[in-house]
Amino acid sequence: MQDIHLTAASEEGLSKDEIRGALGKALEGRALKRVLIIPPDFTRFHSNAGFITEALYGMLAARGAEVDIMPALGTHVPVTEAQWKAMFGSVPFERMIVHKWRTDVVKLGDIPAEVVSEISEGLWKKPLAVELNRRLVDGGYDLIVSPGQVVPHEVIGMANHAKNLFVGVGGSEMINGSHMIGAVCGMEKAMGRDHSPVRKLFDWAMEKYVYGRIPVLFALTVTTAPGGKIRTHGLFIGEGRECLTAAVKLAQEKNVDYVEKPLKKCVVYLDPSEFTSTWVGNKAIYRTRMAMADGGELVVLAPGVERFGEDPAQQTLIRKYGYKGRLHTLELFERPECEDLRENMGVAAHLIHGSSDGRFSITYAVKKIAQSEIEAVGFRAADYDETAAKYDPAKLAYGWNDVGGEEVYYIPNPALGLWIDRARLV
């Protein structure tokens, strides 16, 4: 098929009928008996991939196809039934397959050490395993549809496309290794960019192991969500790289905000239905670090955060080592007694990403986890109710606010963008 690139004519975004029409066109001429859809999980609720998945399921089921849904969890916890209903509507919960990233994968091969070294400019010199959930390889599907949102990301630069496969339904070696490479190379070389080091590695793996071998169709969105209302500014459907390239250009326009001066005080709100761990909630740190002033303060309003990791192993390691900075974590990584950290490189990368390296302070305002626990992993802590009374998310407007004479920059959802002080671009 030829790629379908659909861009909204107005800021209100594409209509549901326009999206359905593009999806229907993409399915034309395909004899499909078994289809696997790999949407993002609930942490990407505002991607509009939930509606796309529901629309695809309805079209395919009406044609008599058997359709399975496997959310691209990566290392996240499985989607709950309530989240499923909120995101995927009428799609039966029983059609969900839970991806098990530690066990339910097959290895397709490796990205050779020399390729990794060249792309990382010598910062990482080990091969990188290419793994996918076994159902993509031997599940007998006629088509695998991967819907999802292209949006700034701390590891790969711009989320989705191959990331939805190699991380979303990939294995521990690929997830851990790619995240560590991204951390070592530096977030500032990735965020908001198309051809980041990790994206280049994923592009290499797609050419070697996926294109022409696994029948994947991408349906990529570019969205914003002012006031919580999803606006789909573009839908890019294709089987190769071109749909991603086009989506990235639009996402850089819609999802990157350049601030006119560094942020001395930034307040970020984490919706409790979406952010229940620092593993996910640290998007507040990743997405604002290039806008924060030296010596500034980031206040994270986190009423739903009740834990650190998304599983017990992550939880244990975060508690043990904490968010203490890039150099500190890399030093730990080399110590003989830190074998547990080397075996969980994704956690090591996460610890690097979740620190400001001492450049600005990070205060988590919480109500479901003890402040002493927050402080034990390296953050400042505050009471949520007291902090929200001062910086009330119901009263603050997106962007600059005056709070009792204090200039505050407010972000209602860090997952939807990237904030950059132009002077910090490298």
Helices (H) and strands (E) in the chain, counts: 17, 18
pLDDT value at residue 154: 86
User: In terms of domains, do 40 and 180 share one?
Assistant: yes
User: In terms of domains, do 30 and 153 share one?
Assistant: yes
Specify whether the CB–CB gap between 311 and 292 falls below 8 A: no
pLDDT value at residue 226: 87
pLDDT value at residue 324: 94
Give the residue from 223, 254, 285 where a domain finishes: 254
Report the b/e string of 140-152 with b at 16+ CB within 10 A.
Answer: ebebbbbbbbbbb
| pLDDT digit string, tens, across residues 243-262 | 999 999 999 999 999 998 99
Question: CA separation (Å) from 330 to 63, 170, 198?
Answer: 53, 24, 19
| pLDDT digit string, tens, across residues 331-375 | 998 899 999 999 888 899 999 999 999 999 999 999 999 999 999
Question: In the predicted model, what is the mean pLDDT of the chain?
Answer: 95
The pLDDT confidence band at residue 425, using thresholds 50, 70 and 90, is low
User: In terms of domains, do 236 and 265 share one?
Assistant: no
Mean pLDDT, range 170-196, rounded to an integer: 91
User: In terms of domains, do 24 and 88 share one?
Assistant: yes
Residue 94 burial class via C-beta count within 10 angstroms: exposed 0-12, middle 13-18, buried 19 and up: exposed
Residue 408 pLDDT > 70: yes
User: In terms of domains, do 89 and 160 share one?
Assistant: yes
User: In terms of domains, do 289 and 346 share one?
Assistant: yes
Give the residue from 254, 282, 305 where a domain finishes: 254
Residue 306 pLDDT > 80: yes
| pLDDT digit string, tens, across residues 264-297 | 999 999 999 999 999 999 999 999 999 999 999 9
Residue 314 pLDDT > 90: yes
| pLDDT digit string, tens, across residues 96-130 | 999 999 999 999 999 999 999 999 999 999 999 99
> What's the CATH code of the domain at 290?
3.90.226.30
Task: Write out the DSSP string of 241-293.
Answer: SHHHHHHHHHHHHHSEEEESS-EEEEEEE--TTT--BHHHHTHHHHTTTTTEE
User: In terms of domains, do 290 and 238 share one?
Assistant: no
Rounded Cα distance between 31 and 239, Å, is 16
User: What's the predicted TM-score (pTM) here?
Assistant: 0.84
295 membership: H or E segment, kind and range: strand 292-302
Question: CA separation (Å) from 60 to 34, 66, 135, 202?
Answer: 9, 8, 19, 29
Structural domains of the chain, count: 2
Give the residue from 233, 254, 275 where a domain finishes: 254
Instruction: Locate 262 and state its tokens.
Output: 């560094």
User: In terms of domains, do 176 and 262 share one?
Assistant: no
User: In terms of domains, do 207 and 283 share one?
Assistant: no
Domain that holds residue 279: 257-424
